[in-house]
Structure 1
Amino acid sequence: MTEPTIIRPYGDTTGDGMVQVSFTLPLPADARAEAAARQLAGKMGIDPAMVVHTRQLGESHTFFVVYGRVNHLVDLAQVQVREREYPLLNPKEINTEVKRLLRRRLSVVGACIGTDAHTVGIDAILNLKGVAGEKGLEYYRELKVSNLGAQVTVDELVSSARAEAADAVLVSQVVTQRDAHLRNVRELAAAFRDSFPERSRPLLVAGGPRFDEEMAGELGVDRIFGRGTTPAEVASYLVFAVAQRKAAA
């Protein structure tokens, strides 16, 4: 069966264009709030818009779930996805490559910077227990891992990277209010540019559920990983990037 190139959302039947969205309005739960929710949904292109769920949040806010039809189409020919540019290696292959490339352990320093206290992501990548049955980078014999935890300042991270002779610095950012994750990563990149010569600067890798993987260049880092990234993907990238650096030296 040939895959269609133009698709519409699926709700109750194929191609019916039905979608469900949720949002909160700063209004108490009453008839006016529901009307406001329908108006907002209509401006999103949902027509007809049906409020299927409401819940008052405190005294002055209401959460809504709205269901309805949109006329927008998705052209799969125009959908762009970043493909992995490096092979996915298993732990044995990664250890072998690190020994071949460096003849020493590859030093990795990781942290959550700024006021971000959410370490679930960085712990899933770095800690031995890993995530979803896959071991973290501490499991790899040829990787030396230093997990600094949460609320680490950029200056502290720079100092730790220098003390550990880091080959790579991994930063996790979950808090995204007012684009804090973007601001923090730009600050990180600037600090490492100022503190290290280009040839000896550690690889800078940022990750988090709200990052766009295409923004690495704009933010000044070498790689961005998004939601669902596994430890093996990160470790394989580090080996790939180290090999590229050595080839260019």
Structure 2
Amino acid sequence: MSDIVRPYGDTTGDGMVQLSFTLPIAHDKRAEGAALQLAGKMGMDPAMLVHAKQMGDGFTFFVVYGRVNHLVDTSKVEVVERDFPLLSAKEVNALVKRGLRRKLSVVGACIGTDAHTVGIDAILNVKGIAGEKGLEYYRELKVTNLGAQVTVPELVAAAQRERADAVLVSQVVTQRDAHLHNTREMSAAFREALPADKRPLLVVGGPRFDESMAGELGVDRIFGRGTTPGEVASYLVHELVQP
């Protein structure tokens, strides 16, 4: 199978793609022309307007469909591969009990102004997500969920109080790269507050993070969309429990 692929729309290799965007302009014929002009400048030729709708005062949402000539070389795609075994809850509990001889302490929160707890709750709460139980279900894990809109000083204080082995932070609000600024602020605060050998494992997650940016943001691991509680638990054990 070739490493070179082209987008698929109606027939194999036709290069057809669909794109949606918003322009700060009221919906009229001129706005539709502007949308097609933008699509053309992005390399869609021909471009067809398939949907346009006014979105409040002076904004229009568009969907365009058209052909692009770009190819993708899958052999040059770089991703962060899972470098730890995926364990069951029973295996995680057994390793923590044998390796730590105490419960593994996890503190989780949404920091800054982020009030979206769906992600952190899916990982931490016992109900979990998609039929998979959250970390509260693991009897050898002690979970402290601080909820939403937690300040960085509050998070650091809670981590110290709970003697956290790991801190999990979810960031969904990404306007003006708020998730990146908040993560950098958090990692800097932990570096300032605790020596390296006393610092908890710092893990962040959210739909807009680039998993390859962990080092740049000063954290130990980034998890993207679709992450399960089992993946997080397996990673924590891999990093914190000696075999």
**Normalising to structure 2: TM-score of the pair?**
0.98
1:28 alignment partner in structure 2? 26
2:74 alignment partner AA = L
Q: Partners in 1 of 2:202 and 2:119 — Cα distance?
A: 16
2:235 alignment partner in structure 1? 237
1:99 alignment partner in structure 2? 97
Alpha-carbon displacement from aligned partner over 1:104-132 (angstroms, at most 9, x marks no partner)? 00000000000000000000000000000
2:158 alignment partner in structure 1? 160
1:95 alignment partner AA = N
1:16 alignment partner in structure 2? 14
Q: Partners in 2 of 1:202 and 1:26 — Cα distance?
A: 44
1:113 alignment partner in structure 2? 111
Equivalent residue in structure 1 for 2:48, among 47, 50, 54: 50
Equivalent residue in structure 1 for 2:86, among 81, 88, 91: 88
Secondary structure of 1:92's match?
Answer: helix
Secondary structure of 1:27's match?
Answer: coil
Equivalent residue in structure 1 for 2:135, among 131, 134, 137: 137
Alpha-carbon displacement from aligned partner over 1:183-207 (angstroms, at most 9, x marks no partner)? 0000000000011110010000000
Compute the displacement of 1:21 (Å): 0.2
2:195 alignment partner in structure 1? 197
Identity of aligned residues (%): 75
Q: Partners in 1 of 2:136 and 2:57 — Cα distance?
A: 48
Following TM superposition, the consecutive aligned residue runs of length 4 or more in structure 1 with deviations greater than 6 angstroms are none
Secondary structure of 2:167's match?
Answer: strand
2:38 alignment partner in structure 1? 40
1:184 alignment partner AA = N
Compute the displacement of 1:4 (Å): 2.3
Secondary structure of 2:10's match?
Answer: coil
Compute the displacement of 1:81 (Å): 1.9
CA contact (8 A) 2:167 2:200 kept: yes
Q: Partners in 2 of 1:236 and 1:212 — Cα distance?
A: 20
**Normalising to structure 1: TM-score of the pair?**
0.96
Alpha-carbon displacement from aligned partner over 1:140-190 (angstroms, at most 9, x marks no partner)? 010000000000000000010011010000000000000000000000000
2:173 alignment partner in structure 1? 175
Number of residue pairs the alignment of both structures matches: 243
Q: Partners in 2 of 1:31 and 1:135 — Cα distance?
A: 51
Secondary structure of 2:204's match?
Answer: strand
Compute the displacement of 1:59 (Å): 2.7
Secondary structure of 1:65's match?
Answer: strand
CA contact (8 A) 2:79 2:212 kept: no
Structure 1 vs Structure 2 CA RMSD: 0.9
Q: Partners in 2 of 1:180 and 1:45 — Cα distance?
A: 30
Unaligned 5+ runs, structure 1: none
CA contact (8 A) 2:122 2:229 kept: yes
